[in-house]
Structure 1
Amino acid sequence: AEMNKEKSWNCSSSKQKQQYSDINLFTASDAFSASGIRGGTFKAPSFSVPSQFHAIQGVTEKDLGSLKAVTEIPAKFRRIFKEFPYFNYIQSKAFDDLLYTDRNFVICAPTGSGKTVVFELAIIRLLMEVPLPWLNIKIVYMAPIKALCSQRFDDWKEKFGPLGLKCKELTGDTVMDDLFEIQHAHIIMTTPEKWDSMTRKWRDNSLVQLVRLFFIDEVHIVKDENRGPILEVVVSRMKTVQSLPQTLENTSTIIPMRFVAVSATIPNVEDIAEWLSDGERPAVYLKIDESHRPVKLRKVVLGFPCSNNQTEFKFDLTLNYKIASVIQTYSDQKPTLVFCATRKGVQQAASVLVKDAKFIMTMEQKQRLQKCAHSIRDSKLRDIVIHGVAYYHAGMELSDRKVVEGAFAVGDLPVLFTTSTLAMGVNLPAHLVIIKSTMHYAGGMFEEYSETDILQMIGRAGRPQFDSTATAVIMTRLSTKEKYIQMLACSDTVESSLHRHLIEHLNAEIVLHTITDVNIALEWIRSTLLYIRALKNPSHYGFSCGLNKDGIEAKLQELCLKNLNDLSSLNLIKMDEDVNFKPTEIGRLMAWYYITFETVKKFCTISGKETLSDLVTMIASCQEFLDIQLRINEKKTLNTLNKDPHRVTIRFPMEGKIKTREMKVNCLIQAHLGCIPIQDFALTQDTAKIFRNGSRITRWLSDVLAAQEKNFAALLNSLILAKCFRCKLWENSLHVSKQLEKIG
């Protein structure tokens, strides 16, 4: 039954003996201090990074005897695992392969199993093998999102810094100047996109040849439609680098590069292992089932009626009024994390819960939340925090996020609402995770979450250091309830998406001279997951089921040739009669600047007479901005920027109202170049993202037009626009002094 309005339940618990040794969440704000937290509402254990906690709940007595002691590793490395005397069951199973061999290694284990230790043991193995000083070694840690890279950077800087290893982040936020620092770093944290971009120039960067360990976190991302192909080609490229003659001194002492990959959500882990194997030695893989999950996870799927004439938006709103009863039924009066589809949805759901439920809190807890509220800038958030409810999303001020993180981590906040986009990066333990609606707003429309998204979100339920059991609840439509029950029962097989994005990656390899003819192109294909899965499941890739290995290889060759012909038709590569190929200058620029084939195609129609306004419109419609969303609550602000008789507006106003993603991108580009202040923090973030890509696209465009020896009017305007993007000002701006330090 649904919970009555103003229904109260007690969130307090008896005082716990607590340790606050590694808490660093409180430095960003003086809203509270670690020493001032006593007798919190929930059990509040010492809170640190997940890799430091390794409970052995659910492990049988027989398993217990097989646990490895931390004392088995050399004394100088033991401080890395100072939080526990024994490795847990899963880590102990992987221990010998990681510490006593150099084989490539893949582990598939439930979320919250302490899989980060797998990477740490591999690092120790390398350090044991390589004599001091550790000069010619690089370790690459690759994760799908920046938040995970930052998390690992903070953790490993503290753990490996005292051993003399330097860590460096290389993500979308870092500039090319950082390459100098990376040359002096031992451990590099990066994303597939950034590493792909950098290694496209690897012949100019011998540091890539120094990579001895290559870590892939959340390797299941390889099945993602857009990001998976990038991960696939990066792995193939690293294999290629490894197989080439080393250009470094003392190559005889260099040990081969080792791949280590971890994932919580891969059923066909043997395919990943085959993909990561080298010619001589197959990779070792370890598959751990749910029975060894450190925290037993109860999975619940709730279906709610949704009529045919009810929009997804309306259905999402109705679920807000069901949250209170779900929390009451499943939370056990412990912290709850609720994932919502949008930032606005997060705020709305939190506001509804504050009205629907009243949490009974201790006086000390109320005082701490009052103190938190005083330091919060967001007025809506400030009003609800005192009721024990908060929200958390990427569009918030960093200081507000830190306050909310800290309050939830120590148990002062019974409920936290967050966006699904933070599912992989959020490091906030919760006993109960609720996914409110399985649809999210992407690319201007509602669509179902991918299986990866769902599994990542439910993976946030329960952590070994906090619970012995946890619960994940999926709230969906009645019509899709069965689908999610099946999904949770058995994950889908990981498939490749490289065949849908082959063209950009083939061009990049041709530019690198990795691929010079069709036979080598097929050899390169054989190093991908696409090849392994096409042999096992040809129908998924559009091939006939009855084909043998030769038939499937012929089909893959056909696919390659089609893409190569498309590249040739736009003069991106040159092909001779023997189907040998070489890159052209335009193809080289496409790979160098990381431009999509569709964007190149769009600019092939250029007449040469384009004005500044025309070029801005063309750039705003590039594929590189597909991840920018037009949110309903932004339209008013954007329309005011476009046309308003009483305010400063953009230089080239658009006809009609802002109703597409392209118009939003155009408007934000012009507003930023015109120095028009934008008060909306989410729009400011979008603008920063647009300018990161936009400055790259405008530089590429001016280089392409300069190489053509015609189209001079368009070339002049593209050079002006590239300069505008770099300086973040229009060329005729009155605000030129903003370029000076401490003025702009």
Structure 2
Amino acid sequence: MLKKQYVDEDHTLNFIVPIYEPLPPQYFIRVVSDRWLGSQTGLPVSFRHIILPEKYPPPTELLDLQPLPVTALQSPSYETLYQDFKHFNPIQTQVFTALYNSDDNALVAAPTGSGKTICAEFAILRNHQKGSDSVMRVVYVAPIEALAKERYRDWEKKFGGGLKLAVVELTGETTTDLKLLEKGQIIISTPEKWDALSRRWKQRKHVQQVSLFIIDELHLIGGQRGSVLEVIVSRMKYIANQVENKIRFVALSTSVANAKDLGDWIGATSHGLFNFSPVVRPVPLEIHIQSVDIANFKARMQAMTKRTYTAIAQHAKNGKPALVFVPTRKHVRLTTMDLITYSSADSGEKSFLLQSTKELEPFLNKISDEMLKVTLREGVGYLHEGLSSLDHDIEAQLFEAGWIQDCVLSSSMCYKDTLLAHLVVVMGTQYYDGENAQTDYPVTDLLQMMGHASRPLVDHSGKCVILCHAPSKEYYKKFLFEAFPVESHLHHFLHDNMNAEIVAGIIENKQDDVDYLTWTFMYRRLTQNPNYYNLQGVSHRHLSDYLSELVENTLSDLEASKCVSIEDDIHLSPLNLGMISSYYNISYTTIERFSSYITSNTKMKGLLKILSSASEYAYLPIQPGEEEVVRRLINHQRFSFESPKVKDPHVKANALLQAHFSRQSVGGNLALDQREVLLSANKLLQALVDVISSNGWLSLALLAMEVSQMMTQGLWGRDSMLLQLPHFTKDLAKKCEENPGKSIETIFDLLKMEDVARRELLNMPNSYLFDIARFCNRFPNVDLYVTLERDIDGKTKIGPVDAPRYPKAKEEGWWLVVGDTKTNSLLAIKRVSLQRKLKAKLQFAAPDDAGKKSYILYFMCDSYMGCDQEYSFTVDVKEADGGDKDSSKE
């Protein structure tokens, strides 16, 4: 659909078409108007020089082996970990010897629901068996945060409780993660977190000491976020080559056509490569693909609802559980209500939906989502990203216990939820992306949804019904019954990875850069499927020219953005902006934008605009029909927008930030987007402070630090600092400020009051006063001497920041700044973490002229408002012998 407001914008459409041999000379793409005569155009696509991918080897045959008993582990402590069953399934049985009785690298590719996690556990137990606990360091990488959390909960109970191993999950905060890495024996991470931690592997011996590296869902290397997965595996391969410590690689994946390439890349031998067919499952899956030939998306979804109800009535009889996946959160609610309506209208026979019982009410009373309470009473639940964690957990327990039979989920929950059912219905395989274009689900997502139709030890078979648009049917028929190939996406995301390796000193010249690429999966696929990577031939010359051009173009962009310096057209060295970009793991385009937009006169409005211009926000989706909501949000913010583009994700990010500072509820999908904006903003702000400090702008740096406090507490800088306290309202803060005798404006003022007077002023129940006391005990009270010492009760633990409006746990950080207010110059800056005591060293150049100079030392928190401190001090600059002044002062 070409809408009037988007007529000047580029539209990208992806077609998936079959190619048959012998190859035709060309295909034609035609664009024809559906309402104007003669309005059409055509484009021939020549196949004359096409090079088709190489043929794929057949999948691994599942052997008819005697199921292996759990006693094969030959260790009572290991056997107790698997008390729920007596035998391993056929796939686990076949891979057991390679994973448990050898140290070879391995790739296990099998359909979702095949028990691959236990295969990885074989490798962990092998690692534990042969090494002492002190040197055991296993890293498990899950591509999605929800999978990492699920694995942490599972393994903390299994290995932490059963084997007393230290299981830790990385947080994304570098200081915290380094401590976790040091004490952890099983480290659970996402690709982004491990990328940030392993970039400086030369200085971090604990990264070098990894003995087992497990990559889950390796097939997602072919997805949008796959480049980070590829980079960390390539880096760990390189580290294994450079250090004496041997690293064992074990990868898990769904069935893929080119598993041999993946296996060769991670160093798996033929004995360690298992690529089972997509139809080989421990619980056989019966798949029904039904097409609906209605072009209009909305009408098609409505037509699919009745078919979904019919599928549940037919395949999930006798109270068997069913999961229904729909494209968006909006469809979740609509479909849930439609299923209940169809069930109520089905008067010919008793509804198959389980009706609420009195036993359910105590659980329903704890649920905050009112509509969810209503639907659960009718026997249908729903799950989407907007539900609170408590609502989510209660409903998941009700479903698993069989108290509700059906659950409707948004498609993005397929990786985030572990619910299993007898039947899975995929209601539509397309969604609307941010540009109002219909986009097909990736095959990987669809396979993940199908994997939920597997209940080992409960069902003899599972069932899956896929409802799709008619033109997509043949495509899904092919790739759901045959393994699909995965390709690298690294060539689209090379700049930041290359910059990081230059900063780390791994790449020092252009030849190093080409050599670096040879460690990647992309390098293996270049000759296997050259046209995919825009390579015109497969000879050594073609390959060499392609890599050289790729390196030249990437380095040219990095040089233009002032991240990298190229000397003598060969040697590479990192510049300040490149180092900031790598340290905070943000895009080189973001840091270039920060550097070029910021000026010494920038005020709060400009600072927020620059912050929200970051490339990290370019993918913030504008959902269909969301434009009006965003427009209203924009109109109600403190800082206005000059002719705002509602479809611009950067404008949306800015509006969501301002709404957060105003404590304005946004609700719905916007709340999820706001969470992502805030999580990215933390590292973006720290990078912005570094860029400002590099220019030596004192007042602007202090302003950016205040924005960090605003971000954590969800307040504007002009708001009362007392609003950080739990249960405080604007009226109560105003009452405190108007307190007769002494105005209470800061938290320190409140702490100095007599207990009786404070109780009388606040007039709160004891539970509220206890919450306020707990906050005050953790509120930073710092005495600044030569060393920094925190004034704190010996019993009080310094944990995460008290910040209920910030979307995740955050450790407090501090900036030490030396500035000259007369010239507005920032002379020195250091970011520190203060627990109880700290010695910090700040160096800065002395001024050119001799004499006494007055400076101010600022101590700025990044999380709490009202605890910053500043101290004046003087430096006596004297002429040294020979007329040269002292070059620096500490």
TM interval, short-chain normalised: 0.7 to 0.9
The partner residue of 2:688 within 701, 712, 719 is 701
The partner residue of 2:238 within 222, 237, 240 is 240
Q: Can you list the C-alpha shifts for 1:655-699, whole angstroms capped at 9, x where unaligned?
A: 56855433322111012123x231626544432321121121121
Superposition deviation, residue 168 in structure 1: 0.8
Superposition deviation, residue 83 in structure 1: 1.9
Following the alignment from structure 1 to structure 2, what is the Cα–Cα distance between the partners of residues 690 and 179? 25
The partner residue of 1:496 within 488, 491, 505 is 488
The partner residue of 2:266 within 238, 253, 276 is 276
Within-5 A mapping of 1:162-201: 162-172=162-172, 176-201=175-200
Higher mean C-alpha displacement, 553-562 vs 615-624: 615-624
Where 1:202 maps in the other structure, the secondary structure is coil
Following the alignment from structure 2 to structure 1, what is the Cα–Cα distance between the partners of residues 352 and 520? 55
Where 1:299 maps in the other structure, the secondary structure is strand
CA contact (8 A) 2:109 2:274 kept: yes
Superposition deviation, residue 266 in structure 1: 1.7
Residues 478, 364 of structure 1: alpha-carbon distance in 2 compared, 3 angstrom cutoff? closer
Q: Can you list the C-alpha shifts for 1:113-145, whole angstroms capped at 9, x where unaligned?
A: 1111111111111112113xx112211111111
Aligned residue type for 1:582 = S
* 1:732 equivalent in structure 2: 718
CA contact (8 A) 1:339 1:418 kept: yes
Where 1:198 maps in the other structure, the secondary structure is helix
Residues 573, 175 of structure 1: alpha-carbon distance in 2 compared, 3 angstrom cutoff? closer
1:612 aligns with 2:604: yes
Following the alignment from structure 1 to structure 2, what is the Cα–Cα distance between the partners of residues 554 and 234? 26
Residues 468, 290 of structure 1: alpha-carbon distance in 2 compared, 3 angstrom cutoff? farther
CA contact (8 A) 1:373 1:383 kept: no
Aligned length: 661
Residues 735, 317 of structure 1: alpha-carbon distance in 2 compared, 3 angstrom cutoff? farther
Aligned residue type for 2:325 = F
Following the alignment from structure 1 to structure 2, what is the Cα–Cα distance between the partners of residues 476 and 391? 21
1:357 aligns with 2:343: yes
Where 1:177 maps in the other structure, the secondary structure is helix
CA contact (8 A) 2:678 2:711 kept: yes
Q: Aligned-residue CA RMSD in angstroms?
A: 2.7
List runs of 5+ in structure 2 lacking aligned partners: 1-60, 345-349, 726-746, 748-773, 777-802, 804-890
Superposition deviation, residue 371 in structure 1: 4.2
Residues 277, 478 of structure 1: alpha-carbon distance in 2 compared, 3 angstrom cutoff? same
* 2:462 equivalent in structure 1: 470
Residues 320, 98 of structure 1: alpha-carbon distance in 2 compared, 3 angstrom cutoff? same
Q: Can you list the C-alpha shifts for 1:411-450, whole angstroms capped at 9, x where unaligned?
A: 2222100011111121111111111111123335342111
TM-score in terms of structure 2 length: 0.70
Higher mean C-alpha displacement, 420-429 vs 677-686: 677-686
Aligned residue type for 2:201 = W
Following the alignment from structure 1 to structure 2, what is the Cα–Cα distance between the partners of residues 728 and 370? 36
TM-score in terms of structure 1 length: 0.83
CA contact (8 A) 1:70 1:87 kept: no
Following the alignment from structure 2 to structure 1, what is the Cα–Cα distance between the partners of residues 122 and 191? 23
Aligned residue type for 2:313 = Q
Following the alignment from structure 2 to structure 1, what is the Cα–Cα distance between the partners of residues 354 and 192? 49
Q: Can you list the C-alpha shifts for 1:165-188, whole angstroms capped at 9, x where unaligned?
A: 01111145x674243233111111
Aligned residue type for 1:742 = F
1:259 aligns with 2:257: no
Superposition deviation, residue 622 in structure 1: 2.3
Following the alignment from structure 2 to structure 1, what is the Cα–Cα distance between the partners of residues 712 and 405? 46
Q: Can you list the C-alpha shifts for 1:194-220, whole angstroms capped at 9, x where unaligned?
A: 111121233443211121111111110
Q: Can you list the C-alpha shifts for 1:354-405, whole angstroms capped at 9, x where unaligned?
A: 1011464799963344444333221111111111111011210111111210
Where 1:507 maps in the other structure, the secondary structure is helix
Following the alignment from structure 1 to structure 2, what is the Cα–Cα distance between the partners of residues 730 and 375? 33
* 1:581 equivalent in structure 2: 572
* 2:323 equivalent in structure 1: 337
CA contact (8 A) 2:194 2:232 kept: yes
Q: Can you list the C-alpha shifts for 1:294-315, whole angstroms capped at 9, x where unaligned?
A: 11112222111223xx3x2443
The partner residue of 1:483 within 467, 475, 483 is 475
* 1:126 equivalent in structure 2: 127
Following the alignment from structure 2 to structure 1, what is the Cα–Cα distance between the partners of residues 353 and 411? 31
Within-5 A mapping of 1:79-478: 79-131=80-132, 134-161=133-160, 162-172=162-172, 176-225=175-224, 227-245=225-243, 256-277=246-267, 284-290=272-278, 292-307=280-295, 310=296, 312-333=297-318, 334-358=320-344, 360=351, 366-445=357-436, 446-478=438-470
Aligned residue type for 1:485 = K
Where 1:322 maps in the other structure, the secondary structure is helix
Aligned residue type for 1:692 = L
Where 2:336 maps in the other structure, the secondary structure is helix
Q: Percent identity?
A: 28
Following the alignment from structure 2 to structure 1, what is the Cα–Cα distance between the partners of residues 565 and 392? 52
Where 1:536 maps in the other structure, the secondary structure is coil
Where 1:76 maps in the other structure, the secondary structure is helix
Residues 96, 700 of structure 1: alpha-carbon distance in 2 compared, 3 angstrom cutoff? same
CA contact (8 A) 2:208 2:243 kept: no
Where 1:582 maps in the other structure, the secondary structure is strand
* 1:742 equivalent in structure 2: 775
Aligned residue type for 1:366 = T
CA contact (8 A) 2:563 2:588 kept: no
Following the alignment from structure 1 to structure 2, what is the Cα–Cα distance between the partners of residues 736 and 654? 33
Superposition deviation, residue 607 in structure 1: 5.7
CA contact (8 A) 2:255 2:484 kept: no
Residues 91, 211 of structure 1: alpha-carbon distance in 2 compared, 3 angstrom cutoff? same
Where 1:357 maps in the other structure, the secondary structure is helix
Aligned residue type for 1:496 = S
CA contact (8 A) 1:522 1:556 kept: yes
* 1:598 equivalent in structure 2: 589
CA contact (8 A) 1:68 1:95 kept: no
* 2:847 equivalent in structure 1: none
CA contact (8 A) 1:535 1:549 kept: no
CA contact (8 A) 2:502 2:508 kept: yes
Higher mean C-alpha displacement, 263-272 vs 482-491: 482-491
Where 1:183 maps in the other structure, the secondary structure is helix
CA contact (8 A) 1:503 1:563 kept: yes
* 2:788 equivalent in structure 1: none
Higher relative contact order (CA 8 A, sep 6+): 1
Following the alignment from structure 1 to structure 2, what is the Cα–Cα distance between the partners of residues 202 and 667? 38
Where 2:775 maps in the other structure, the secondary structure is coil
Following the alignment from structure 2 to structure 1, what is the Cα–Cα distance between the partners of residues 469 and 96? 44
List runs of 5+ in structure 1 lacking aligned partners: 1-58, 247-253
Where 1:90 maps in the other structure, the secondary structure is helix
Aligned residue type for 2:483 = S
Aligned residue type for 2:156 = K
The partner residue of 1:519 within 511, 518, 534 is 511
Aligned residue type for 1:264 = T
Residues 168, 607 of structure 1: alpha-carbon distance in 2 compared, 3 angstrom cutoff? closer
Aligned residue type for 2:153 = D
CA contact (8 A) 2:354 2:405 kept: no
Higher mean C-alpha displacement, 350-359 vs 64-73: 64-73
Higher mean C-alpha displacement, 690-699 vs 329-338: 329-338
CA contact (8 A) 2:143 2:190 kept: yes
1:543 aligns with 2:535: yes
Following the alignment from structure 2 to structure 1, what is the Cα–Cα distance between the partners of residues 526 and 429? 30
